[in-house]
Amino acid sequence: MTTATAAPKPWIAMVGGFLGAGKTTLILAAAKEVSRRGIRSAVILNDQGNVLVDTGYATQSGMQAGEVTGGCFCCKLSDLLRVMGELREFQPDVIFAEPVGSCTDISATILHPLLEYRDEFRLAPFSVLVDRERARSLLADGADPDLSFLFHKQLEEADLICWAKSDLYPDCPQISARHVRQVSARSGQGVAAWLDEIFSGSLSVGSEILDIDYEQYARAEAALAWLNLQVTIEPSVSSSPAVMLGPLLDHLDREFTANQITIVHLKAIIDSPTGFVKAAMCANGQEPAVEGALDASPASQHELLLNLRAVGSAQQVREIVERELHRIDGNLTGLHVDCFHPAAPKPERRMARREATATPQTF
C-alpha cells in the first residue's frame, strides 16, 4: 500500500485487543506511517458510554475521528456503517476501527456482515493487540475467570495477533495462533511491516467464527464497572495540566486499592489553553503512562475527560470518583458522570459458521 491516490474504496482495518492493550496508540502510530507514504487515514472509536478519552486524544493528535457510542460495534452495526460513510467525505484510504476492549465475537457480528459491503469498502484482516503483562496475568492459574474468558475469546478469533511493546519485552508467552508478529507503537518497530501485511491480501478476513456462550459473555462484561466522566475545572490557583491530573490519579488509585476495586483500565486527558496531558494505567499501583505537554504553563481552566474500567460495584466506583473529584480546590462546572455495568450484548446481526466464508481481500 504505497500509492498517494485516494482509494475509491477505503480499507477498513479493525484493531481489537483487551482493555489497555494500546490500540489507540498503535492506530496513531500507523496513521503517521501511512501519512509518510502519502496515504490518508481516519479512525472510528467505540465505547459503551458516551464520553471518550481516545476520541479527544486522536483529535489532539491531528487525526480525523468518528465514534460509535452507547454500545459496542456489534450492537451498533448500523451506527458503525453510518460513521464509516460519514468519514468517506474526507476521502481516507484507510479507516482504522477500534472496538470496545471488553468485546469479542467480532468476526461473526462485524467482519462477515461488513464483507457484504465490498462494493464500498475493502476489509483488512482482524488484528488483535496483546499486552504481555496482561497476557501473563490472564493466562495464569487463578486468573479472574470473567476477564480471562473475554481475553481467551479475543485471541481465538484473531486473524493476526500483534504483541505490543516489542522494544521493551522481546519474549512472549506461548499461545496457539496461526499468524503472530511484534510491534511497538512507541518506537515504531514493526508498525510498517504490520501495515504491509494486513493490506497485502495474503491473510484471510474473519478466519475464525467463535463458538461462544452469550450468557457467559454477558456475565463477564457485567463484572466490569464502566465509568465515563467529563467536567470543567477552574482551580483556585492556576495550575498546569500535569499538576491537576497527577494527584487526582494518585488519590483514585489509593482509594480503589483500599476498597479492593481492581483497576483494569484508567485513562484521562486534561486539556487547557496551554496544552494537554494524557495518562493511562492498567493496574492498581502502576505508574501511569503519561504523554502530552508535561511542561505546559499553569492555566485557570481545564477540561477533564476520564474513562475507567474496573472490577467492582459501579455505585462504589462512582462514589469514590466523585468524592475525589470534589476534593479538588476550585470550581467544577458541567460535570457529567455515567457509571454502569454493561448490558448483555445483543448483536444487530450474527453470521453462523456455516454462512461465513473467510477469504483474503484482494479487490
pLDDT, tens digit (0-9, with 9 covering 90-100), for 245-303: 999 999 999 999 999 999 999 999 999 999 999 999 999 999 999 999 999 999 999 99
Radius of gyration of the chain (CA): 20
pLDDT given for residue 286 in this prediction: 95
And the C-alpha cell for 102?
471488553
pTM: 0.90
How far is 52 from 30, CA to CA, in rounded Å?
20
Tell me the per-residue pLDDT of 201-217, one tens digit each, with 9 for 90 and over: 889 999 899 999 999 99
Grid cell 499461545 — which residue? Answer: 175
pLDDT given for residue 55 in this prediction: 82
How far is 165 from 58, CA to CA, in rounded Å?
20
Strand 180-182 to 289-292 pairing = unpaired
pLDDT averages per 10-residue partition of the chain, 363 residues: 60 96 93 94 91 80 89 96 94 96 96 94 95 91 95 95 80 72 89 95 90 96 96 97 96 98 96 95 94 93 96 98 96 96 95 59 44
Structural domains in the chain plus CATH codes: 11-220 (3.40.50.300), 224-340 (3.30.70.260)
The CA-atom distances, in angstroms, between 199 and each of 49, 116, 142, 202, 215 are 31, 19, 39, 8, 35
User: Which of 136, 41, 149 lies closest to 98, judged by CA?
Assistant: 41
Distance spanning both ends of the chain, measured CA to CA = 13
Q: Are 273 and 266 in contact (CB under 8 A)?
A: no
How far is 92 from 94, CA to CA, in rounded Å?
5
How far is 355 from 350, CA to CA, in rounded Å?
10
